């Protein structure tokens, strides 16, 4: 009997030798549960590049026209044709604004030129409706005028546009510089450009509104002179007589 107890005790010791301890068992379970990616460092996400403001304007794709100034009450942002529809690129928006600003400036000069050129007889005895005055300019003066306009346009192109390189498929064709604000070519002889962002946005909105009005006004004057071949003041005097009940052709009838 004693021998049987010794043999049983020996077998029990052998079994315990191959039985894992609680610590070992828990370590094994934790090793199985742990993910192999826990010790892997996640790559750092680079921060978004900081966009430098241009005249206080920072392009924002969530805003109409990328946040460019020019919208006023009561219409607010007015784009019925959809030139600045959703999804348009920033470069296209800047090109549209560049065209609007430059055409507005030309129209403001043209509106003043129509009225001043018809009110006062210019050099080379140029007179009559403004639509008919350009062909009265002598050829040498016309060449000088053409070279002046070409020089101004070339200067604007070198300031605002990227130098084209490559063939027709090049991305540098018809592309404005990233740091170029549409219409700001650095020409400010009177120092009227505001230094702060709010002041610049206000001044830019005023220029845009006056330019838009001038484009409509110049188009009206040009169309009117194409129809009746009379100057602005002659047309004004004509309709002044009509609305006053006076026959505008009375002087012509009396002279016949």
Is residue 221 within 8 A of residue 232, CB to CB? The reply is: yes
Q: What does the pLDDT read at residue 254?
A: 63
Using the predicted structure, report yes or no on whether residue 44 has a pLDDT greater than 60: yes
- Whether the predicted model's global pTM rises above the 0.85 cut: no
11 vs 115, which has greater pLDDT? 115
pLDDT band at 50 (very low <50, low <70, confident <90, very high): low
pLDDT above 80 (res 82): yes
- pLDDT for res 60: 92
Tokens of 223: 């169309």
pLDDT tens digits, one per residue of 168-184: 667 788 899 999 999 99
The rounded distance, in Å, linking the Cα atoms of 4 and 6 is: 5
CA distances (Å), 176 to each of 84, 134, 163, in order?
A: 17, 33, 9
Q: What span, in angstroms and rounded, lies between the C-alpha atoms of 12 and 157?
A: 97
């Amino acid at each position: 009997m004693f021998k049987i107890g010794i043999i049983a005790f020996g077998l029990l010791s052998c079994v315990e030798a191959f039985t894992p301890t609680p610590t070992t068992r828990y370590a094994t379970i934790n090793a199985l549960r742990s993910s192999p990616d826990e010790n892997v460092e996640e790559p750092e996400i680079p921060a978004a590049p900081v966009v430098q403001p241009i005249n206080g304007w920072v392009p924002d794709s969530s805003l109409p026209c990328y946040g460019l100034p020019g919208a006023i009450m009561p219409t607010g942002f007015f784009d019925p044709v959809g030139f600045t529809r959703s999804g348009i690129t920033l470069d296209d928006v800047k090109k549209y604004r560049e065209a609007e600003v430059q055409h507005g400036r030309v129209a403001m000069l043209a509106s003043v030129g129509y009225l001043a050129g018809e009110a006062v007889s210019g050099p080379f005895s140029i007179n009559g409706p403004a639509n008919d005055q350009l062909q009265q300019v002598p050829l040498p003066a016309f060449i000088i005028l053409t070279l002046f306009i070409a020089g101004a346009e070339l200067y604007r192109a070198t300031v605002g546009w990227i130098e084209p390189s490559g063939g027709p498929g090049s991305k540098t064709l018809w592309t404005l510089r990233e740091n170029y604000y549409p219409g700001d070519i650095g020409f400010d002889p009177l120092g009227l450009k505001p230094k702060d962002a709010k002041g610049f946005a206000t001044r830019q909105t005023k220029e845009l509104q006056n330019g838009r009005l001038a484009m409509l006004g110049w188009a009206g004057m040009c169309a009117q002179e194409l129809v009746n071949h009379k100057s602005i003041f002659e047309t004004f005097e004509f309709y002044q007589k009509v609305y006053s009940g006076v026959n505008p052709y009375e002087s012509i009838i009396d002279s016949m």
